[in-house]
Structure 1
Amino acid sequence: MLRCGPDDIETLIAAGLPFDVQSGVRHFDVNDLYNLGMYSGRSNTQPELAFKMLFRFAGRPVEDLLRPRTWDFQVRLECADCRTAAPWHFEAPDAGRFGGSVTEVAAPARESAGEAAYTATVTTTGVRTPLISPALRRLTRDYLAAGYRWQMVPVAMQADYRLVHALGSTSCIAASLLLAERFREAGHRAEAKRGWFCGVLGGALDLPHASVEVEDDDGVLKTVDIAKAQLAARLSADTEAFQELCLGSVYNKVIPSTASGNAAFATHGCGSRTPVHVRADIRSLR
């Protein structure tokens, strides 16, 4: 992942890279390794190469992101420590909020144990609705100029968005929660919402995502995808049009859900304290 040898690993450990020893073998946290790779400066680590590929689309004409696009949306819910049948709750796709649709829905069975599934056909579309409120535009500019460094952060930690930003870091959930708070302080109705970022590597990488939904001065509900704007600016020199699209408009590679920014996508009523694992497989339908 880091494209480095044993001597480099020893140097990182000496500098404070955390690890656990299990049966005589050192184990590292995947978030730590990804963050090291992202900022290694070598240009050949797995995280650097993955994010360059992830954002290839951001340097292309944005018109392709504004047309309707249909997805085969399949999610498997897994409750690892489940011992009894119980109701499932799944925060479903909600593309209709922004001109899309959700059809052919097959929701989880009323009660079951261990596993469940949700499938649907989801259509997304893009709409240019740039922010017009001077306060909203100033707050987004201030955030992007603050120098927070995007990192992989455990989901549970991202909810503590003040701690994440106090460390100089950010993530899509932490950024959206903080920005939504600042929008509300400026007098706007705003909420961080979760969804999925789709169409990456032919469906092999569908990423849970978060953004801010805010009511602008014109009364229109708009989306501020601050993390994608930040990442695009860092990873590609020719993404200005996409960055502007992220500041108020919607685009067809994101499927919004009903989940709030720091909520789980799914829960199971069996009483297990282990979070439900949500495995998404989202493929574009031609």
Structure 2
Amino acid sequence: MLSGLLGSVCLSGCKLEVLDSKGPIGVAESALIGTATFTMLLVVVPVILLTLIFAWRYRASNKNATYAPKWAHSTAIEVVVWAIPAIIILYLGILTWRTSHELDPYKEIKVENVKPINVEVVALDWKWLFIYPDLGVASVNQVAFPVGTPVNFRITSDSVMNSFFIPQLGGQIYAMAGMQTKLHLLADHAGDYAGISANYSGAGFSDMKFRALAMSQAEFDAWVQNVKTAPEGLDMNVYAGVSRPSQKEAVRYFSTVDPKLFNNIVGKYNNGNVAVGANCVTKG
């Protein structure tokens, strides 16, 4: 997990959106990145400094440096070089175990008196399809939800394996054909957040992006009503066209959606059965 978190920092661009968290999961993961980095630097920085100090002190031109050709052992040095790294590794191990459970993407987020919103996500070449099964609408390359409302994502792919990621909200989890994974997020602040594909998936990978809109309940209700005015619905026949490979796909709305569409997409790879994927996550 820690390597995935640190890798996400490097891959998230100059804005470092993964550290500009706007939700509880993102905040916890950002804190984990900082803690893990600081802890590892407790070894890295002293080693670099001591290497430079030793190289300077015992340079060939320094005749005052102690010369001990028969020196072979120091208990104090052995204790330091073994005990400190062992303690740090133990600490990082405990930290990893604890946060792996606390930040489990399958763990639901519960807010008192707030009903979660369900969103089904399908990774395509090279676009994202979002289905709202409880609202009967769908969209391409744009997902919206109210601030302070838990969002339950069910995720699959109708193409190669991909990875669903909204850096500022936290969580990165794989989308796999014939399987479904889950991710639970929540936005604390209203905003227009970047969503990306975090797993290389071919020629259109670099433009496989979407926008995640966190808004007030009233604004979300208005968004849903706007989607319901879209001229086309989404059934299996329309979906056949939507799923064809395309690049830089514009945002697209569907006023109705086949309630069995998501399960049909998953089941087409399993003789009609819906399989639940393993907890495949690279970021918290």
Q: Which has the higher strand share?
A: 1
Q: Same fold (TM over 0.5)?
A: no
- Using the size of structure 2 for normalisation, the TM-score is 0.24
Q: Which has the larger radius of gyration?
A: 2
